[in-house]
Amino acid sequence: MGSLSEIMKAAGNMSAADFSLRGTLTPEQSHTLIDAVADSSDFLKKVQTVKTQSLQKDLTAIDLSNNILIQIAEGLEPTDAQKQKAAMIGCTLNLKPAQLFGFIGDSALEDNRHNPKFEQETFNAFAKSFGNNLTNLGFVGTTDAYASGTGFTTLNKGWIEIAKSDAATVKGTYEAGDSISDRLVALAESINPDAAADSVILIAPSDYQLYNRELAALNAPYYLIEGNAPRILGIPLEINKFMPAGVYMATPLKNLVLGAGLNVKRSREYHAAKRGLEYVFSIYQDYEILIKKWVSILEEEEE
């Protein structure tokens, strides 16, 4: 990682210039940072991360539905409906800005002055923080209409909110008294057949625990002890701590897109009053679902 020292210099013989630095990372440095962020998160490794220099980017995919082979008599053309079975579909990323702040105190700088791993450790810590925040926003983000003081969830619209609001996704509801098993079965049965082989069901840890308790009550104490029921109707369960409880979503994970801008701005400045080195990374990011009809989402019915 040749550009690491330029991204995160915080040890060794630091000059006055090292203590104050502002500017945009080079494309190589931005690629290094974004790759490290994705690699720091078990979940982001599984979704599709798209790096782009522009703030808007069109993504396309071929909708390879079943039964698209046809026979057209000589001299005739296929109908629009026949053409649409193998149509190009997709979405558009519209990247929004966000900032990540970090601080390293004088004592940490002094203790690690001769630590050759400190820059790597600091870089990894920032990357993991980035990864956790970006994953969290992907699940809880409700809108991209951010205004000062409105909070974290308004930085961008995440995957769950996109699935709830888009007309092409499959939506379902359950009643409060329904078992977790019944909810998951209903969701699994609603999955688009073209996506079923690659789909997983995203579930919150608390709902996953309840599901294992339900299985244990059916004379299967193994699930109460081990707590690792792997799937429902053949569909793997993907437990994520950021998934909202009571909401369940099925999709191929590569159908979830994280857009990351390569125009990353980095500021590093020493604060005498705070007694430490402050970092600010300004990034652009967006969330999208590539093929909306491959998503099924289930939530509690409103009273």
For 112-134, write each residue's pLDDT tens digit.
Answer: 888 888 878 888 888 899 899 99
Question: Do 200 and 238 touch, CB atoms closer than 8 A?
Answer: yes
Confidence bin at 168 (pLDDT 50/70/90): very high
Q: Supply the range of the domain harboring residue 232.
A: 173-253
Mean per-residue pLDDT of the chain: 84
- Given a cut of 70, whether residue 8 has pLDDT beyond it is no
Nearest one of 101, 100, 97 to 146, comparing CA atoms: 97
Percent of the chain at pLDDT above 70?
A: 80
pLDDT tens digits along 129-154: 989 999 999 999 999 887 766 789 99
Instruction: Let me know if residue 177 belongs to a domain.
Output: yes
Spatial distance between the Cα atoms of 295 and 292, rounded to a whole number of angstroms = 6
* C-alpha span between 11 and 275 (Å, rounded): 15
Q: Which residue has the higher pLDDT, 100 or 178?
A: 178
Residues 47 and 95 in one domain: yes
Which strand (E) or helix (H) includes residue 99?
strand 96-105
Give residue 20's pLDDT. 47
Is pLDDT above 50 for 11?
no
**Residue with tokens 């290094």, as numbered in its chain:** 32
Q: Comparing 171 with 125, which gets the higher pLDDT?
A: 171
Average pLDDT over residues 270-284: 87
What's residue 165's pLDDT?
Answer: 96
Residues 22 and 128 in one domain: yes
Q: Indicate whether 145 and 25 sit together in one domain.
A: yes
Number of domains forming the structure of the chain: 2
pLDDT in tens, 80-91: 665 555 555 788
Q: Concatenated DSSP letters for 130-183? A: HHHHHHHHHHH-B-S---TTS-GGGS-B-HHHHHHH-TTSEEEEE-TTS-HHHH
Which pLDDT belongs to residue 19? 41
Q: Is residue 147 included in any domain, yes or no? A: yes
161 within some domain: no
Query: Greater confidence, 73 or 92?
Result: 92
Residue 252, both tokens: 């191929």
Separation of alpha carbons 34 and 264, rounded Å: 9
pLDDT of residue 10: 46
Q: How confident is the model over 201-210, as a mean pLDDT? A: 96
Strands 199-203 and 235-239: parallel
Strands 88-94 and 56-62: antiparallel
Both 102 and 230 in one domain: the answer is no
Tell me how far apart the alpha carbons of residues 220 and 204 are, in angstroms, rounded to a whole number: 22
pLDDT in tens, 44-91: 999 999 999 999 998 887 665 555 454 555 666 766 665 555 555 788
Tokens of 85: 């079975």
Q: Is residue 14 part of a domain?
A: yes
More confident residue, 281 or 62: 281
**Do residue 198 and residue 264 come from a single domain?**
no
